[in-house]
Amino acid sequence: MNKGGVFIVSGPSGSGKDTLLTELFKNHPEIKFSISTITRPMRAGEKEGEKYNFISRESFEQMIAEDYLLEYNSYIGNYYGTPKAPVIKAINEGCDIIIEVDVNGAASIREKLPQAVSIFIMPPSLKELKNRLSGRGTEPEEIINQRMQSALSEIKRATEYDYIVINDDIATAVNDIHSIISSERLKTERQKQIIDEVF
Interface positions with ligand 5GP (CB under 6 A): 10, 13, 36, 40, 71, 73, 75, 80-82, 100-102, 104-105
Which of 7, 8, 10, 11 lies at the binding interface for ligand ADP (CB under 6 A)? 11
Q: Which stretch binds ligand ADP (CB under 6 A): 73-81, 90-98, 166-174, 175-183?
A: 166-174
By a kind-dependent CB cut-off of 5 to 8 A, residue 105 interacts, out of ligand 5GP, ligand ADP, none, with ligand 5GP
Residue type, 90: A
The string of DSSP letters for 7-60 reads EEEE--TTSSHHHHHHHHHHH-TTSEE--EEE-SPPPTT--BTTTEEE--HHHH
Residue type, 131: N
> At closest approach, how far in Å is the CB of 144 from ligand ADP?
11
> At closest approach, how far in Å is the CB of 1 from ligand 5GP?
27
Q: What's the residue count for the chain?
A: 199
Q: Is 136 in the site for ligand ADP (CB under 6 A)?
A: yes
> At closest approach, how far in Å is the CB of 49 from ligand 5GP?
14
Nearest to 71 by CA among 20, 45, 96, 106: 106
The string of DSSP letters for 130-169 reads HHHHHHHT-S-HHHHHHHHHHHHHHHHTGGGSSEEEE-SS
Return d(Cα 94, Cα 185) in angstroms, integer. 11
Q: Is 51 in the site for ligand ADP (CB under 6 A)?
A: no
Q: Which stretch binds ligand ADP (CB under 6 A): 69-77, 91-99, 164-172, 181-189?
A: 164-172
> At closest approach, how far in Å is the CB of 75 from ligand 5GP?
5
Return d(Cα 5, Cα 109) in angstroms, integer. 13
Which of 56, 76, 115, 135 lies at the binding interface for ligand ADP (CB under 6 A)? 135
Q: Which residues of the shown chain bind ligand ADP in the complex (CB under 6 A)?
A: 11, 13-19, 132, 135-136, 167-168, 170
